[in-house]
Amino acid sequence: MQKFSADDNKDNVEDKKGEVFYDEDDIPDEEAEQVDVEAKLSKKARKARDKLSVAELKTLVKRPEIVEWTDTSSSDPRLLVHLKSYRNCVPVPSHWSLKREYLSSKRGVEKPPFDLPAFIKATGIMEMRDNTKEDERSLKQKQRERVQPKMGKLDIDYQKLHDAFFRFQVKPTLTMYGEVYYEGKEMETNLKDRRPGELSDELKEALNMPPNAPPPWLINMQRVGPPPSYPSMKVPGLNAPIPAGAAWGFHPGGWGKPPTDEFNRPLYGDVFGVLQPQESAENQEPVDRTIWGELQEIESEEEDEDEDEEEDEDDEEDGAGLQTPSGMATPSGMVSSVPSEFDAPEHLDLRKARPDRDEDEGPKSLYSVLPEQEIRSRGLFGGQHAYDIKSGQMPVLGQEDRKRKKPGDIEVSIDASTLEADDGLSKEAIKAKYEREMEQQRRDKQGFQEDLSDLIASESRKRQKREEDNARKKKESKFRF
């Protein structure tokens, strides 16, 4: 045994001796050794070696909050995170990585029957047409109604249906852009309508909060401070005054202690309500500042024409005596230029009345009978009677208005007796006659325009009043059945 043990020691000593290199070519290449080692590694081991961790990937991208634990297994993790962080990018549904089948969790869930929306239920249509009553009917009654149906049994007001669909209809919940359905989405609570700091009635009931009581986390917020994620949020009792009727203190329903410093100054905001902003003038109710005893001036609806103003000025220049000064009463010592025989009328019509015509026009014929003549028929469709049209060329009612007048033509009607009296008509009289005729035509045209404008104005006032009444009725009406 000693012999064998001595031999083993010699072998161990020889193994411990270093390798001797007698030439440069005998030195092994390190790169070649590494290549041999990598060649020995499998593809799975090589992929696990090059795989980034979640922490390393978050340090390499700009938005680390988007990184998920599955992103490190992709072929290019940085490109994947960049695409996910792009604006308006639709994410892949989260159930892609599930091992079980899609919607397999809803197999045992009972689907509720279809239910009408609340705005249709409010019309009372379900009470009028009850399906349970229809199911209780016998087969004979059902067959009879198929042959002889009873129409018009549902007596429902059309206004109720109109209000239900056009006033009280609520928009259904729709999927927004970029939202993808996944399992259990309908069971989640929609938090888009919630705002931080606003407590719903359901939350107050769940926390058993009595009316005008603080939330249970207010004491901790007074000790720690407001939430840093919402610096502009107003919390009563922390950086905003407490509501009216509430009291400070640690008793049940108390609002704790206001957060102040050693000089009794608020730390986080106006907790005592000293620096409350005043209401702006827009939100306040308008104040009527008109003087109640002031006399109101009576204004005419229509303005006078320029010609009437010129005539009034001419009359004032020609009038004798002192003019009445402007004012409500004539001062003493001054005489009015208005004659005493003209009394003030009881009813003053400011509208311009259509003046009557000075001359009565003679009677005009509405039609004339044409004499009949017998002729011999000629041609294929020849007639046996003809009418003398020349004999019927008499002044017809309204015919003189249809005549074409040359520009500059003037028609002045002169009575024959005026030509025989005295020395006839002078040039000034004819000119005055012409001016009266032109004034008459102008007044006729103005009267028609005024009547038309009055009609349009009255109709517009009626329509405006009708619209205001309808708007007031709609505003005052309530949804009742």
Residue 160 inside a domain? The answer is: yes
Domain that holds residue 218: 209-269
Residue 63 is predicted with a pLDDT of: 92
Instruction: Name residue 378's amino acid.
Output: R
Q: Sign of the C-alpha dihedral, residues 351, 356, 358, 361? A: positive
pLDDT value at residue 206 = 94
Contacts of 41 (CB under 8 A, 6+ apart): 49
- Cα–Cα distance between 203 and 217 in angstroms, integer? 13
Per the structure, how many domains does the chain have? 3
Residue 67: how many other CB atoms lie within 10 Å: 21
Instruction: Please report, as a single letter, which amino acid is at residue 244.
Output: A
In a domain, 59, yes or no: yes
- Residues 88 and 123 occupy one common structural domain: no
Record the pTM. Answer: 0.34
Separation between Cα atoms, residue 432 and residue 417, nearest integer Å: 17
Does one domain contain both 84 and 122? no
Report yes or no on 186 lying in a domain: no
Q: Are 457 and 463 in contact (CB under 8 A)?
A: no
Q: Are residues 156 and 237 in the same domain?
A: no
User: DSSP letter string over 401-469?
Assistant: TSS---TT-------HHHHHSTT---HHHHHHHHHHHHHHHHHHHHHHHHHHHHHHHHHHHHHHHHHHH
Residue with tokens 């064998």: 4
Q: With respect to residue 188, please indicate whether it lies within any of the assigned structural domains.
A: no
- Do 21 and 88 belong to one domain? yes
CA separation (Å) from 436 to 302, 355, 433?
24, 12, 5
**Which pLDDT does position 41 carry in this prediction?**
79
| Of 224, 247, 269, the domain-final residue | 269
pLDDT in tens, the chain (481 residues): 565 555 555 555 555 556 666 666 666 666 666 666 666 778 888 888 889 999 999 999 999 999 999 999 999 999 999 999 998 888 888 888 888 888 888 888 888 888 899 999 888 887 776 655 666 778 888 888 888 887 766 677 888 889 999 999 988 888 888 788 888 888 888 787 888 888 989 999 999 999 889 999 999 999 999 999 898 899 999 999 999 889 999 999 899 999 999 888 888 888 888 876 655 555 667 777 777 776 666 655 455 555 565 565 555 555 444 444 444 444 444 444 444 444 555 555 555 555 555 445 556 677 778 888 888 777 767 777 788 777 656 555 555 555 555 555 666 666 666 666 656 667 777 777 778 878 887 777 777 777 778 888 888 889 889 998 888 887 776 545 4
Report DSSP letters for 237-304, one per residue.
Answer: TTTBPPPTT---BSSTT--B---B-TTS-BSSS-TTSSSPPPPPTTTSPPP----TTPPPPP--SSPP
88 and 9 belong to one structural domain: yes
Name the strand (E) or helix (H) holding 385.
strand 385-387
Q: Is residue 247 part of a domain?
A: yes
Q: Classify residue 403: in a domain, yes or no.
A: no
Q: Do 55 and 7 sit in the same domain of this protein?
A: yes
Is 471 within the bounds of a domain?
A: no
What letter would DSSP give residue 196?
T
Instruction: Find the radius of gyration of the CA atoms of the chain.
Output: 53
Query: Does 133 fall in a domain?
Result: yes
